[in-house]
Chains A and B, each alone.
Chain A
């Protein structure tokens, strides 16, 4: 069922290891980083909007 004879074979990719893993590595990196960046932006935006909202309610109360 499994195509490879050994783990070393799998890593070597028949001599194309650099190209195959360079492609999969870049994709994995981007798909890991993008959600982290999006989540961080979300956290920062919410924190900023909360600050603004508090400032506004203070101003209207005065």
Chain B
């Protein structure tokens, strides 16, 4: 009998758990490689910006952190939609595992933005559409975590959290297009699919850092989801076998 490869098999925690465990070191390694290459290009090679001097180098973490804060939210909302539609166990765990990392990315986006805004605009913070909508994103993450933590029944927590995620998803295009729709102090996007206003080395440094952040987020979320799986599936045979097998 031939065992056919089936992707849906990995939607089951019992098969996803060891797969995630095997993948984590690879994501960590790739993240480190991208990070070193990005820092080398961005911090050592890239030229001075003609308008912002060396202060622009904050871009190499500000943009990746901001992108990830939006992207992680979209992924969580995607898992929420799958969870609400098909009642899959894995989706709630994935959303739960991604939330703290997404919140940290939103925080870093605001933090590095403040440190960038002060020397360039003369203000740590302004109630501008871009900044305000990013702050709302941070509150959405915190709200999701608080809401799911407050409901004891896991299934109901996932449902309520999923609804919050789906309602809050309107905020993502608002963040992204805010610099187009409104007159913001925040500068327009430096990169889009058709053109870039940046020097080659700056652009590559930023993209490499974005890849570093992306791989980092995957690695941490996989670490977290494995713990959540053990916790939630503790009454199943596979977790009992895992625990009895001396899992560190």
Please give the residue numbers on chain A whose beta carbons come within 8 Å of chain B beta carbons, in ascending order.
Answer: 1-4, 10, 13-16, 18-20, 22-24, 26-27, 30-31, 34-35, 38-39, 41-43, 45-46, 49-50, 52-53
Contacts and interface: CB of A to CB of B under 8 A. Distances in A.
A26 B114 CA distance: 12
B220 interface: yes
A10 B39 CA distance: 13
A56 B57 CA distance: 56
B170 interface: no
Interface string B158-172: 000000000000000
Contacts of B44: 2-4, 10
A1 B101 CA distance: 35
B23 interface: no
Contacts, number: 95
Contacts of A43: 248
B243 A50 contact: yes
- Chain B interface size, under 10 / 10 to 19 / 20 to 34 / 35 or more: 35 or more
Interface stretch (B138-146, B148-156, B173-181, B224-232): B224-232
B220 A38 contact: yes
Given A23-B58, A27-B61, A34-B104, A53 B111 contact: no
Given A14-B54, A38-B224, 6 more contacts: A3-B45, A23-B62, A34-B220, A49-B243, A53-B234, A53-B243
Given A19-B55, A45-B231, A52-B234, A27 B65 contact: yes
A24 B64 CA distance: 12
Interface stretch (B115-123, B127-135, B182-190): B115-123
B108 interface: yes
Interface in B39-70: 43-48, 53-55, 57-58, 61-62, 65
A34 B161 CA distance: 22
A42 B57 contact: no
B116 A27 contact: no
Contacts of A18: 115
B230 A45 contact: yes
A19 B61 contact: no
A30 B104 contact: yes
Contacts of A16: 53-55, 57, 119
Contact of A23 (B53, B112, B239): B112
Contacts of B239: 49
Contacts of B100: 34
A19 B121 CA distance: 13
B111 A23 contact: yes
Nearest to B235: A56
Chain A CB within 10 Å — which of B57, B62, B65, B239 has the most?
Answer: B57
Given A39-B223, A49-B239, A19 B230 contact: no
A4 B54 CA distance: 11
A13 B55 contact: yes
